[in-house]
Structure 1
């Protein structure tokens, strides 16, 4: 998936400035697609040049002027084409896994610390995603929201992000404990 498709999908909910788009990515899109604000601004410029988004200038009296972007018909057609493409399998590419694989030979102390840090970061994301899911649902329970909620796509991606972070947290804590126990067992020998 190209960043362009993630930006187009985020803009389906309405007009956003580059700043607002970066905030939307931080809250809802970052659980499946990471992008720095500079990348988003550059992608908005490319999308506008390609006619997939259109921007308009908004004059503000007390602040600098801003540009708001929305998806064009050509942008929607591009998303429809992208949605029709066969999805490629996802894969993991994570430097921490390389460290875990080598932990027996390089020492476990720093790896255990990094696993615990990742578990803490995952826990923070779990809380954030849980809060976001509750905001989406409002007064509805999850099953009712999934059946009748107005915009289910962002909710579904947050559910995937939540599941990923829970699994990641649990794996990191388990592997930190395994490495710690192995270190203790070896020290007792």
Structure 2
């Protein structure tokens, strides 16, 4: 998936400035696609040149002017075409896995610390996603929201984000515990 599709998907909810998009990206799309604010601004410029988003200038007196972007009909068509394309299998590309693979040969202590940091970060992300999902569904229970909610795509990706973070957290904790108990890790202490 290209960043362009993630940006177009994020803009389906309304009109956003680059700054607002970056903030909403962190909470919503960011749970399955990471991009820096600079990458988002660059992509917005590309998408506007291609006619997939349109931007308008908003003059502000107390602050610098800003541009607001929205998806065009061509952008919706591009997203629809993307949605019909065959999905590629997921892959993991994570430098922490390389470190874990080598931990018992080059030293486990720094890797254990990083695993514990990742587990704590996953807990924080799980809490955030639960809050976002509660806000999305309002007074409705989850199953009722999933049956009757207006736009559930973001909710479903939030559920996937929670499942991912829980699995990642549990793996990090288990891996840290295993590495901590190995003779080579104890010898480093």
TM-score normalised according to structure 2 size: 0.96
Tell me what 1:98 maps to: 98
The CA deviation at 1:183 is 3.1
2:14 aligned with 1:7: no
The whole-number CA distance in structure 2 between the counterparts of 1:10 and 1:185 is 44
Tell me what 2:133 maps to: 133
Tell me what 1:159 maps to: 159
RMSD: 1.2
Displaced runs of 4+ in structure 1, greater than 4 A? Answer: 184-187
Local SS of the residue matching 2:54: strand
The whole-number CA distance in structure 1 between the counterparts of 2:110 and 2:7 is 37
The Cα offsets for residues 14-34 of structure 1, whole Å up to 9 and x where unpaired, read as 100001000011111111000
The CA deviation at 1:61 is 2.0
The CA deviation at 1:172 is 0.3
The Cα offsets for residues 133-182 of structure 1, whole Å up to 9 and x where unpaired, read as 11111111110011011110000111111100000000000110011111
The whole-number CA distance in structure 2 between the counterparts of 1:123 and 1:169 is 7
Whether the 8 Å contact between 1:32 and 1:161 is mirrored in structure 2 is yes
Which consecutive unaligned segments of at least 5 residues does structure 2 have? none
> Structure 1 residues 107 and 14 mapped into 2: Cα distance closer, same or farther (>3 Å)?
same
Local SS of the residue matching 2:28: helix
1:44-63 aligned at under 5 Å gives the runs: 44-63=44-63
Query: Across the two proteins, how many residue pairs are aligned to each other?
Result: 187
The whole-number CA distance in structure 2 between the counterparts of 1:159 and 1:146 is 11
The CA deviation at 1:186 is 6.5
Tell me what 2:72 maps to: 72
The CA deviation at 1:184 is 7.5
TM-score normalised according to structure 1 size: 0.96
Whether the 8 Å contact between 1:129 and 1:162 is mirrored in structure 2 is yes
Tell me what 2:81 maps to: 81
Tell me what 1:108 maps to: 108
> Structure 1 residues 35 and 185 mapped into 2: Cα distance closer, same or farther (>3 Å)?
closer
The whole-number CA distance in structure 1 between the counterparts of 2:70 and 2:148 is 26
Which consecutive unaligned segments of at least 5 residues does structure 1 have? none
